[in-house]
Structure 1
Amino acid sequence: MSAMAAPREHDGADEHLMELPSMRNPDPPPPPLPAAPPRRGLNFHPAVYVGFWITLSSATILFNKWILSTCEFAFPIFLTTWHLVFATAATQLLARTTDLLDGRHRVKMTGRIYLRAIMPIGLFFSLSLICSNKAYIYLSVAFIQMLKATTPVAVLVASWALSLSTPSLRTLGNVALIVVGVIIASWGEIALDATGVIYQVLGICFEATRLVMVQRLLSANEYKMDPLVSLYYFAPVCALINGAFFLVLEAGQISWVNDVMGKVGLPMLTLNACVAFALNVSVVFLIGRTSSLVLTLCGVLKDILLVVLSILIWQTEVTLLQFIGYSIALAGLVWYKLGPEKVLEHLVLLKQAAMEGRALGVVAVGVVTVLLVGVVWYAFSGPEGGGV
């Protein structure tokens, strides 16, 4: 949604050291270096951890959309502030009662570093959360996922702008497919809302800047953190920043009785914060237990699943042009994340597995095929008769 010792082209490997409570990064976090040691008593099959991550990541996004759009609770800054306050309290509790945050003892955090590095990153963290959640008021989950496919492109441009890597035409060519796919998908969007698009684009830009700043911070070994430790340090400052934005922009409009308790309710808000925080915990157990290929493909599967669920839950209309554009963008995302050599290598392995009749290969291809056919069938023959 993971570090380097010298400037290099961004390859997406550092993007998800910090899993945001209310954002849905386009793919799961690649395993950091060094890999987290296995935890005693929790050595399940990697598929279990991947399944939990996909479930919690999708649930967080859909839950936020339901609160902000379906419940008409138009206060995204309040919601993100609540997530961060909850995350602050939860990480402090876990630090004192479990070993999940023992990694913080290896981080040489000082007051100077906190002020000069953590707080600026926290500002972009907060802006990213606010804009991303604002977009859910105006746009469908399906279209937002399509726009988010451009996040690696924004990160690449931000790394060039901040001189973290050297501009390369080859790298630009590798991400061109993502841009082309998203443009096609956007052209086919039926319920296009300019305000929502602006908020989502700003959210992607803020998030890209944050990720590059984190990458720069983590270039030193003493500042490497897993997702939960990073949340331990960033949640308090982000809660304060978001709280300030809330006081200025939403506090005068929100009603505790009519909006907070009437439209959503404290139990539902607490459950929402728990799901968002559980996503961060699931990332800690996921990292280091599977390959970058599996994580990248699971991220793509999660994005497709969200599009399908958006169609099923909110009867979102997905046009044929969007389907084609998003497919192109996802193919470009896999190509960019893994690199041409890795993609071709795994295609050869998949072909060999299919020819040898291996059950796993047949099942994987079958599941993907059924999923894609289901998307097309429902989008074009569902109850709303999604058009082209």
Structure 2
Amino acid sequence: MIAKIPRITTTGADPRLAGGRLTIDLDALVSNWLLLAEKSKPARTAAVVKADAYGLGIVHVVPVLWKAGCRTFFVAVAEEGLRVKAVAPDAQVFVLNGFFAEAFPVYEQSDLIPVLGSLRELASWKELNAGRAEKLPYALHVDTGMNRLGLTVTEAVRFAGEAADDRPILLITHLATADDQNHALSPRQFESFQKLRANFSGIESSIANSPGIFHSLNTGYELSRPGVAMYGGEPLSGIANPMRPVVTAEARIIQVRMGLKGETAGYGATATLSRDTRIAICSIGYADGYLRSASGSGVPLRQTLNSGGIGFIAGKKVPVIGRVTMDMTSFDISDLDEGDAREGDYIELFGTNISLDDAARAAGTIGYELLTSLGNRYHRRYLYSGNEI
């Protein structure tokens, strides 16, 4: 059972005191999951809610996904799994990041399912289950080209022949390059996985992450497990994003000041003003997850990229000027009409006008990092229609 979900929820810092605010559109998140579920058919669709649902909060994200029909969730560590179970007790929850023997009592008591990815983990799981009348379920992770977690294909085939009485309930692998439709590794991974499935007949399988769901070879599995695309991130590189934006991040203007032509701005005096410049100083910085690498100048990245981050206010884009610091970031608002940006107003960092991935690219990173780096000083506002799905 899921408790009634409020239409508007606010958390985090007091809005009167916060330097930044986040607006999280849970209807957009649900819409994204439904699109991914449609693309995954005839496979079922899970949801990856690790890293506290990519920074948005398990306690907010899981209930609306459950209401939309999602019944299976993936987390990184068992502690996250317990938080999923707290809001969705009947959910099937897989834990991706390995297994250690001291955690076994937690699995016994919680109904969490470990994803085992080494012979050591398999041996430990088998030993700990030996005295049980009913063995606990587990999933098996096989590496098909990522060289991260998972049995090798050879180890998995051998295990399949030896473990007739102790088989996993799910076989998974992870795609390394599915966001690039032209990369040669993905076809090899899909091919390897289909051969593996033949050795684990009758067992459900999962290969498609967010980009995998959109890949031209997307076929031959029973469970997809999207992550970043649910939260509005681009599933594929170089292709228009079909997902709705979910998060809007904004920074509050502390002060508007005038810098004169020839003066410098910020730490290291890295920005020299080429004109008399109106500067909006905002109460947001890398302590809030707005990365220092998004600076307009004064970081090594600016040697390879022309500019840093941009904001959006009064219908126009405004560039970051100088370095992003721990608690403050400055924007050049000279091209705005007088009065369009005042102390107390907000500048959008990413959201409906600046895409998450464009903001990430300006900082030389990916949308995943921006979402999961969001700090705890924001005022957060969750919007949800409450309509039946």
TM-score normalised according to structure 2 size: 0.23
Q: Which has the higher helix share?
A: 1
Q: Which has the higher contact order (CA 8 A, sep 6+)?
A: 1
Q: Which structure is larger by alpha-carbon Rg, 1 or 2?
A: 2
Q: Which has the higher strand share?
A: 2
